[in-house]
Chains A and B, each alone.
Chain A
Amino acid sequence: MSSKRTWFSSRSLLYVVALLIALYILVPIYLITISAFSPRNAVFDYPKPFFPKAFSVETLSFFLNSFGVLESVQMSIIVAILTLVLSLLIGAPAGYTLARYVFVGKDSYRLAILSTRAFPIVILAIPLAVTFIRWDLDDTAIGVALLHTAMALPTTILVTSSVFVSVSKELEEAAMVLGCSRFGAFRRVALPLALPGLAASAIFTFVLSWNEVFAAAILTLQNPTLPARLVVQLNQSPLPFKFAGGFFILVPAIVFMLFVRRYLFTLWGVKLK
């Protein structure tokens, strides 16, 4: 019994598990990366050598130079930023309200927010496209961003409300005692304290918009976002391009994660000071 406890306390099991989890994520990434940088024929080698024998950026550069990829990256970034801004502009005040005020129908309101996720976008596709075409929103960044905002809002509202709950109400009251207006107290005290949490929820919104395929594919035609363009094309492309495309989608996500790591930890319950 006691030897078992030493085994656990030595933490080696923990490290083994951590190592396994890390490998589970890293090995596929590694294989995708070496395949993306291999010449076309090498992709079909079986069994696959663990260290690549030849190096080539042929498929990757074909991919990058193929029609519209760079425009789509641009479109994706614009859409993601618009979505992020719109959903925070609408979602953060709603979250704040849920956190601070008691009002009639608060619980049903909270439920109603979630219910927007109950409508599958597939069913809404045609009516939505028809409306967007009539309103000239079709095939524009703002059109896609509006839809992504609608999809992101429930999460944004609920996350921001829990962020504001964790910011102590007394601090705001103290600010008001010392002469701040209601809005001033929010802006000078609550907002700065909630900022890391808000940033984390913004990141989720950004990632949601960055990865969303179906709505973007329906609502755009000549200016698709990156996933809308890629996922369709890659699904039907030969293996070397799948690796190149996979690599291309992976890298921004990894870089992005490295940057926002700190804020993500905040969201996962590290206490706000």
Chain B
Amino acid sequence: MRKKLILVALLLVLALVAVACQPQTVEVTRVVTQTETVEVTRVVTETIEVEGEPVVVTQVVVETVTVEVPAEQPDFGKVVILSTQGVPVEEAEKMRGIVLADFPGEPEFIGVEEPVLLDRVLAEAEAGEGSVDVVIALHGTFPTLQAADALMDLSDLAAELSDRGIPDAFMELGKLGTEDTQYYIPLMQATYIFAANKVALDYLPEGADPDALTWDDIYNWAQNIANETGENKLGFPAGDRGLMHRFLEGYIYPSFTGGMVSNFKSEEAVAMWEFMRNLWQYTNPQSTTYAFMQEQLLSEEVWVAFDHTARLKDAFEQRPDDFIALPSPTGPAGLGFMPVIVGVGIPKNAPNPEGAMEMIRYLLEDETQINILREIGFFPATGVEFPGFVSTGIRLEGEAVAKQAASPNALPALLPVGLGERGGEINKIYRDTFTRIILNGEDIPTVLEEEGAKLQALLEETGAPCWPPDPPSEGACQVR
């Protein structure tokens, strides 16, 4: 009995091993011919008159006819998409069920975090054998892949798609600083804005225009709320998984100093940090645990919050009547804001490059672009007109995004460029500076001097020239 049991167990294990080792086959079926030649037999019946009498003559004729096969949907086979965007459960489901549903083929959408995407694509490039067809990631992810020569040149596809209304500046970004190699094609964009509970509007400082706030207005606003309700209702995503570093890099630094890195330790920067310190008194201290401000907005733990549009979307979607979207505030140097570009590229050894190309064409169609906005909250990269097609909540966000970009003193700040694999380190420098000055209360000039030195070292070691909004530089960008 026991022997039999052991035998059965062993067999089971063997079966498991066999199942586990089974090679995975990818079937790619494609319809190549659009026209077909067919042999047709035709029976021709004629009535002819022979000497006045009608005679029926039947003839069998064999003919070859070329027929146009009605546009049978071509099948582009399995296309594996590896993406760092649209990862959360619901968004991934919407990508699969709605956004990618009409693709003529078998799309497989896999959401991963950035390190995993990089490891996977780099490993496949090195092994010379790929399984990923399409990569969707932030602009900042691509330079690492470019450095490993892991991406296909998409110049031809870019030329073909030039009628989709993708801004030239975005297309240029996809070349990653090269002259004529298109490493990625811009797919969608996002940015960061302020969102506010309408209750908070009662506390707006007098004369402040919600569509054109200044940083001082934000300060007075938070102060009013705190004085009158006794609670700090302003919130920032300063938790571990929050995007506080973007706030520092792309919003408050450019607004006060006109640049992201070059004025890192300038007098203006010192003034900015003093302002931040004051503002922090009226900021919810729980901010250091926040990551997705939509959650605190919905729970009404905060009334006014700054975050990524996709991380505020739930609040606007669930209660569009309760929240308003506000363009970012203006500071002494202008309105700093950070457009986030998400691009789509193809790894060099993608198993199904035709399918991948078709996927990019599909993703940039008007309908897909609107679906992306509607379902996962990223704004189109193409020139498609969307306001008629989306919910009130998203339209609200869209208006704030548009106002922010169209502001006369706008200072668009790009995500750090040219740092390669060390792109994450710059975020750490900004976050460390924030922690030391605001949370630990250290001396501002000292901290700026020390962290500025680290920033300079990073720029020198990578040789990264300045990127907008900082003025262009010869050689590595210099911190002043």
Contact = CB atoms under 8 A, between A and B. Distances in A.
Interface in A205-261: 217-218, 221-222, 232-239, 241, 245
Nearest to A231: B113
Contacts of A145: 20
A233 B87 contact: yes
A238 B292 contact: yes
Interface in B12-33: 13, 16-17, 19-24
A41 interface: yes
Interface in A41-73: 41, 44-46, 62-63, 66-67
A239 B293 CA distance: 11
A63 B93 CA distance: 10
A239 B122 contact: no
B interface, over-half SS:
helix
Nearest to B86: A236
Nearest to B9: A85
B367 interface: no
A234 B295 contact: no
A218 B92 contact: no
B122 A241 contact: no
Interface stretch (A6-14, A94-102, A129-137, A176-184): A129-137
Given A142-B21, A236-B87, A217 B112 contact: yes
Interface size on A, as a range, is: 35 or more
Interface stretch (B124-132, B212-220, B262-270, B389-397): B124-132
A151 interface: no
Contacts of A126: 119, 122-123, 126
B68 to A, nearest CB: 37
Contact of A236 (B13, B23, B88, B124): B88
B344 to A, nearest CB: 18
Interface in B262-311: 292, 294-295, 298-301
Contacts of A41: 298, 318
B295 to A, nearest CB: 6
Contact of B294 (A218, A236, A238): A238
Contact of A222 (B110, B113, B124): B110
Interface residues of B, number: 44
A46 B120 contact: no
Interface in A131-172: 133-134, 136, 138-142, 145
A134 B112 contact: no
A73 to B, nearest CB: 15
A31 interface: no
Contacts of B318: 41
Interface of A: 41, 44-46, 62-63, 66-67, 78-79, 81-82, 85, 125-126, 129-130, 133-134, 136, 138-142, 145, 217-218, 221-222, 232-239, 241, 245
Given A221-B80, A233-B87, A233-B92, 10 more contacts: A62-B90, A126-B122, A130-B126, A141-B19, A218-B120, A222-B110, A233-B89, A236-B241, A238-B314, A241-B88
Interface of B: 13, 16-17, 19-24, 80, 82, 87-90, 92-93, 96, 108, 110-113, 116, 119-120, 122-124, 126-127, 129, 131-132, 241, 292, 294-295, 298-301, 314, 318
